[in-house]
Amino acid sequence: MVDRLLKDDAIQEKGERARMASFIGAMAIADLVKTTLGPKGMDKILQSTGRGRSVTVTNDGATILKSLHIDNPAAKVLVDISKVQDDEVGDGTTSVVVLAGELLREAEKLVNMKIHPMTIIAGFRMAAECARNALLLKAMDNKEDSDKFRSDLMNIAMTTLSSKILSQDKEYFADLAVDAVLRLKGSTNLEAIQILKKPGGSLKDSFLDEGFILDKKIGLGQPKRIENAKILVANTAMDTDKVKIYGARVRVDSMAKVAEIEAAEKQKMRKKVQKIIGHGINCFINRQLIYNFPEELFADAGILAIEHADFEGIERLALVTGGDIASTFDNPESVKLGHCKVIEEIMIGEDRLIHFSGVQMGQACTIVLRGASEHVLDEAERSLHDALCVLSQTVNDTRVLHGGGWPEMVMAKEVDELARKTPGKKSHAIEAFSRALQAIPTIIADNAGLDSADLISQLRAEHHKEQSTAGIDVISGGVGDMKELGISESFKVKQAVLLSATEAVEMILRVDEIVTCAPRRREDRM
């Protein structure tokens, strides 16, 4: 009797049931984010059950899926691919889940026709390879012509933003994003682009500032403006050096002794401040707090001292001004100071901030977002971050495709051709792959409330002509020319969507048994 192999509460699902469970879970996830796809996609409100019941309003696939707590193992695979898509290329997080869901929907029909999962996987593999080659042939590359390339980038940014909250002012924000990314000169390190969110005003009031803005006020009695600043960025305790040993007590026999101890503490602090001033700086930025006494000393020496610069801010500051973060000040010659041309105080809305301009790293800049409420600003930041990610990837890999369901139709057409040439059961799988690819334009049309069946058949007919650039024009509600409309997408994003979706589906298809292990029992501690 091999019945008692697993513990009592363990659940084991085999064969059909296991496959059923994974298909259903994955399709449910795809259906959940399906409605956020495309320019007319809707948003979701996510409310946490934790303290404060924080609310997120978002249309970003990865954000939605990250916030869900999911039990189904196959669904978790889809959540993971959307996270990776978000980290890797920034956009296409919804598309990748939807495509995987559609592929599984097709695979389910094939499995019911008694086609072996391995045959389906082999077919999908061939189809994905064929689809990728079709994209490679059609990709355009304008990296030689900088004006054309900039307009490509603008189009990509506008296409990315058109499905997000910023779609009303997409030209304006696309311009901001392209400027910010082109300043990076090909690095994909988005650390140098700081995004500051300030409630108030409207989204149109957002602007790009060529410098660095620190969300702090300038202390009392200190210079409000410094030119040719030499900055020391530090992470050190500037409160009086108390007796730091835990539980230490000092017994004294008169008040005079207390005064002596205090004087010694002050003297110690004064020495430290003099060491810092000895670096020949005129701006001191510390991550920890600075007490009144040292602040007074700095003010007397005409040095601007900023305390509590937030941690991300201070790392970025060191990066931007080209200095090191110091914590000991004994040998001033080995510390690299940061430099910038002007430090001054500026106002944004109601808040006073410190503005560093003419910084060493010319690549740095700050995007200040304004908006009606925190929720709007959070979503605007996510949208802008997506656009920045896609653009920085495109600057490195300059190939561009048209958007609006055009790449999917191009791939579907080529994959269909392949299915006709392939003998055997694999051809069913290849055909299914082409149907799944067409599902993306179908869903874009459905979300816009258009007649998708009619539109997709028109599109298919268009694509059988040579060199067609037809795609779905959601605004006019028909088939439009993507080249004229300037709807573009990055090749890298599409390729990542295609390959990750296929691999995820392959992984889910290989499953024939799910074993859920028994929960650990808590012993009764009586």
Residue 182 C-beta-side C-alpha neighbours within 13 Å: 17
Both tokens assigned to 272: 């430290």
Task: Considering the candidates 56, 58, 93, 442, report the single residue annotated as catalytic.
Answer: 93
Q: Is 280 helix (H, G, I), strand (E, B) or coil?
A: coil
User: Phi first, then psi: what are they for 322, rounded to 5°?
Assistant: 80, 25
Distance CA 150, CA 158 (A): 12
Both tokens assigned to 53: 């019941």
Based on the residue annotation, tell me whether 324 is a catalytic residue of this protein.
no
Query: Residues 241, 243, 248, CA angle at the centre, nearest 5°?
Result: 170
Question: 59, 28, 26: which is closest to 44 by C-alpha?
Answer: 59
Q: How far is CA 306 from CA 211, 236, 340, 399, in A?
A: 18, 12, 15, 45
Angle between helices 452-463 and 406-421 (to 10 degrees): 70
Pairing, β 470-473 against β 193-199: unpaired
SS (H, E, C) 191-230: HHEEEEEEEECCHHHCEEECEEEECCCCCCCCCCEEEEEE
Based on the residue annotation, tell me whether 175 is a catalytic residue of this protein.
no
Looking at residue 374, its amino acid is E
Task: Considering the candidates 94, 159, 160, 394, report the single residue annotated as catalytic.
Answer: 94
Task: Considering the candidates 56, 58, 60, 209, report the single residue annotated as catalytic.
Answer: 60
Based on the residue annotation, tell me whether 94 is a catalytic residue of this protein.
yes
Residue carrying structure tokens 């801010």: 313
List of residues 6+ apart from 294 with CB closer than 8 A: 238, 269, 272, 273, 305
Question: 380, 390, 489, 321: which is closest to 181 by C-alpha?
Answer: 390
Q: Name beta bridge partners: 206.
A: none
CB 492 within 8 A of CB 397: yes
Rg of the chain, C-alpha, whole Å:
30
Based on the residue annotation, tell me whether 152 is a catalytic residue of this protein.
no
Distance CA 195, CA 370 (A): 11
Task: Considering the candidates 86, 91, 386, 473, report the single residue annotated as catalytic.
Answer: 386
Which DSSP state fits 242? Answer: -
Please list the active-site residues: 60, 93-94, 386
